[in-house]
Chain A
Amino acid sequence: MTKIEPKPESVIVINQPMVRTFSTGGGHSASDTLVEGDQRIETRKWQGYPPEHLNVIGVSMPPMPEVAVPRFTGKAEFASRVQLPNMLYAKPLTCPHPHARIVSLDTSKAEKMPGVKYILTYKNTPKTYPLLPELHFQGDIVAFVAAETEDMAEDAVEAIEVKYEVLPFASTLEQVMAPNAPDMHVRRGKKNLILQQPGVPHYDPDATWVSKHGDVEKGFQEAAIVKEFTYTFAGATAVPIQPVSCVAKWDGDKLTFWGMGQGIYPQRAEIARGLGIDPSNIRYINKWNGCTFGSVKASSRVQPFIAYLAKMAGRPVKLMLTKDQEFAYISIKPETITKFKVGADKNGQMIALAHEFIISVGNTDGPGQQAAGEIAKNNQQLYTVNVPHWKSSCYSYKTNTMNTNPVRSYTQQEVKWAWENMMDEMAEAVGKDPLQFRLMHIAKPGMKLSPVSDWHATDLGRRIEVENGSLTYDSFASVEVLEEGAKVIGWDKRNPVAGSSPGRFKKGIGVGMSQHHAGHMGYREGEEGYVRANANSLSLFGADIEVNANGTVTMKNALPDSGTNHDTALAQVVAEVLGYSNRDHIRLIWGDSNITPPSNEWDGGHTITLQGGAIFTAADKLRKDLLRRAAAELNVDAAKLAMKDGVISSKEDAAKRTTFAALAKANGGTIRQTGKNSPRTQGRSLTKGVAACFVEVEVDTWTGNWKVVRSVYTHDAGLVVNPLVAEADMHGSLVEATQMTTDPIPWDREFHGTKHYSVGYLSYRLPTIMDVPDEQTNIFINSLEPRWFYGIKSFSETGIGAVPGAISNAVYNATGVRIREHAITRDKILTGLRAKG
């Protein structure tokens, strides 16, 4: 009889050696010490926990039951599931114009409607957190109504009478870059172009930022071949399944708030600021979310209004935004234009590369454009490490659209869409196989990047681990992600000439790559870098771990779970640190500001390192504390004690033993340790990850219809903690990045760039169960990051930028049709096929 066990579907794990032939900054040597950067900051290799004799890490197991089982029973407490007695429901009135001023607003009819309890407009919002009469994008909130039922609130919203003066607007890049574009009043800029402070390195009064190395014009003169390419990306949106939701309930001056986001303390602080109260008056609860994808963080803007409504109405208030409303309050992937000019020598080696990146950042003066800078450079660093002359310029424009911010990564898909198309086109131009062309150019472990002085000031220049003026890589499986993936997909079976396979249904194979900041680490408490990072308390990550008298170990972690299952990996590491052979004794308390210690929020795939830094520090301290206590009780030197499955015993005399439970009892019931970790702003930021995505597509040349039939997704994984959970995460990564390849932001057809979503999912084709590739394999390359516990680093977001380019290149290989204007659609494929004849 078949046994059903928690095993992944199709995963290959490839281990790399503990000590490798390259070493930078003290990384992959045999020695125990790492010396990082010009400041010679010393830490222990693997943080003192080498990836040897592992029992729990690397084992596939289902997620933490307290988090995951309630998802299957309907008990997971999403904010949208919170039902309180006597509760009111809030509905917003939103602005129908991209830019408008309210001329008059009359709520008198709405106030008299049945069930209506309170209406919030710019006339009565708190001064500390106002709604404004000038509205800057379509969907900006004009009013909130609180009523007895959602239907009653909706009726009242429709009865509010508003007259708008429609103001000049610019929602698209085309509109905002036009000579006659309206002035968007950029705080520091040139008309609508956002600029940096004069005086920063490479300051350019005509660009948002510039990075450069060598003399790119000289490089073009020396080149044997020079090509130019332009690619556009039409934006995308993530569409979390849970509606943006929250519930506010007051008891006197105390507020209980059930929210939705990626951290509870930053959200609590925002509500406190908005209401002008002390954060300690707010209990913020958020344990489960129905996806957040980074984009829901922006929706925290509505939360103080709901808290205020509840206060004024004197009853609990619940909000569940509809899809068309929430699109204005979750961030979107922006519209971008990328231009390349590339010169190569007679051997096909790129020697000069100019890269221009134009981005619509929405209704903001920044700092979005700075983050775009760091991410935008990832594939540039990947491919130009040996290019003697390059220049990268970014142009960020403020527009009348929703905020540009993380959406299943920050700008990865849009940036790498262009880079990966370009690499294939350039390979063809110089007569190279696209895989070989990438292998010729990619950065490899041990290589030094161009000097820090090349990069613009807000990005890499301030990092403290720069060595001899350069950034260096260590754990970085750039070659392996290509070579191992190529083997499994069968790269050699690819069409030698694009579109050459006969028949109606044409198959093709393509590859894309993605470099990313795989888990900036920060520095953890006890490290020299932690003191130097000098982070403020709000930005720190924190955690507690307790040993209880019943022998269980409780992790206390503030971060909510959005399907991320990060606590599963964290618990496996904690179990390993504490000498367990499984995870069964680890319990979790999370997502409630009354019972979990303060911490920042997760994003960018940094949980295993940033929140992990706090939890693993607590586990490390607890391990040492338990050994110290056992040594005293047993009268044995701590160095001669072994810790195994909750028992501490003498290595020399097994009869001398005690247990975690006994030690906890002796200490009044619990032994607790806390841990802290500094954020990534000044961390070990040179830790990078890299991934490759190989796909095989099948294109129906009669209809233009196509699908991904096979995928091989290959990850530079550090050390994969749980292949089962990692695979599930990567399945989502691939399918969602595919959606972002095929579906741009659903702007209104008539007024492009102005209207989005009228009826939610109907106007945006989301992948269903029908869109899963027939075969998908994930390859995890355990590239062992020497700076972190057990060689772990994050890879949750690394590969996600590789997918759009891989699909485009596969469609080209199948059909010979190159699509440079995102999104890939049937129409474009058919048009391209017709043009070919």
Chain B
Amino acid sequence: MKYSRRQFVAAAGSGIALTFGGARAILGAVPATGGLPKPITKEKATFLVNGKPLVAEYEARTTLWEVVAVTLGLTGTTRSCNRGTCGACTVLVDGVPLYSCHTLATEAAGKKIFTIEGLGDEKNLHPLQKIGYMYMAADCGFCTAGWSVTAKALLDKNRNPSVDDVKQALAGHICRCAAYSGIIRTVIDTGKVLRGEAEIA
């Protein structure tokens, strides 16, 4: 059967959490048979995005990605598969990485949202961004916004992650350029900088 994202969202009813310490993104949803969500109701809520309260209006079926990247115009968060499988669209909701293409906006209403824009801009780069640039942790950069916020969430909890910790945390992020080696080095060495054991040349 044809299986659209909206049916998927309606069936899943919630975002997919990327958790630390072993779990990969798991898709346990069953295809919906009920068709389109009806009626299309309008909602309005405040989101605390990177520390700023922002108000958005959206339909009940609207995803968090659409509210963040389209309605609120924070275009840094990219959407790739729109099926909750690649991790490009990841944002932190109350500190937890979620695939924003598979999180309904209504579930994140009133919560703290952290996106790539919150990590740092060109004048004030976070060590993850500086070291990522130095280590070629991005070839094309399309998946970068997603794994960067997940890596930040990891480092917020654990400033001394092992290679395995990094792999476990980022297993839900597909990088098609396969810059994985650079990403692993970047997260490990960012930990060193945060712990004061290394400095960026």
Contacts and interface: CB of A to CB of B under 8 A. Distances in A.
B136 A62 contact: yes
Contacts of B138: 68, 71-72, 563
B110 interface: no
B83 A728 contact: no
A768 B36 contact: no
Nearest to B199: A1
A805 B50 CA distance: 48
B146 to A, nearest CB: 10
Contact of A769 (B75, B129, B134, B171): B171
Contact of A241 (B86, B128, B131, B132): B86
Interface in B129-165: 129, 131-136, 138-145, 148
A497 interface: no
A769 B180 contact: yes
Given A768-B174, A770-B171, A290 B134 contact: no
Interface residues of A, number: 71
Nearest to A67: B141
B20 to A, nearest CB: 14
Interface in A783-802: none
B83 A241 contact: no
Most buried by A among B75, B142, B199: B142
A89 to B, nearest CB: 9
Interface stretch (A48-56, A329-337, A759-767, A811-819): A759-767
B122 A2 contact: no
Interface residues of B, number: 78
A25 interface: no
A772 B173 CA distance: 13
B5 to A, nearest CB: 8
B136 A63 contact: yes
Contacts of A731: 178-182
Given A728-B182, A731-B181, A762-B27, A290 B199 contact: no
A256 B56 CA distance: 29
Nearest to A72: B129
Contacts of A289: 140
A73 interface: yes
Contacts of A767: 178, 180
B53 interface: no
Contact of A5 (B3, B182, B201): B201
A577 B115 CA distance: 42
Contact of B4 (A2, A71, A154, A727): A154
B134 A5 contact: yes
Contacts of A758: 2-3
B180 A70 contact: no
A372 interface: no
A243 B79 contact: yes
Contact of A761 (B2, B6, B62, B86): B86
B83 A724 contact: no
B133 to A, nearest CB: 5
Interface in B99-120: 115-117, 119-120
A81 B75 contact: yes
Name the prevailing secondary structure of the B interface residues. loop
Nearest to A5: B201
Contacts, number: 221
A565 B70 CA distance: 29
Interface in A278-295: 288-291, 293
Contacts of A238: 176
Nearest to A289: B140
B85 A735 contact: no
Interface in A1-54: 1-6, 9
A236 B166 CA distance: 29
A762 B82 CA distance: 11
Contacts of A74: 74-78, 115-117, 144-145
A731 B86 CA distance: 19
A725 B145 CA distance: 20
A231 interface: no
B108 to A, nearest CB: 18
B181 A772 contact: yes
A736 B178 contact: yes
Contacts of A562: 140
A69 B133 contact: yes
B32 interface: no
Contacts of A769: 166-167, 170-171, 173, 175, 180, 183-184
A781 to B, nearest CB: 21
A638 B166 CA distance: 57
B70 A83 contact: yes
B83 A323 contact: yes
Contact of B83 (A70, A78, A242, A762): A762
B139 A563 contact: yes
Contact of B148 (A3, A63, A72, A150): A72
Given A5-B201, A291-B139, A561-B140, 10 more contacts: A1-B198, A62-B133, A73-B76, A80-B78, A81-B76, A154-B6, A725-B136, A735-B180, A766-B174, A768-B173
* 4 A-B pairs with least C-beta separation: A74-B76, A71-B141, A290-B142, A563-B140
16 contacts: A6-B134, A68-B133, A69-B133, A72-B133, A82-B75, A154-B4, A240-B176, A241-B175, A290-B80, A290-B140, A290-B142, A290-B176, A563-B138, A760-B81, A767-B178, A770-B167
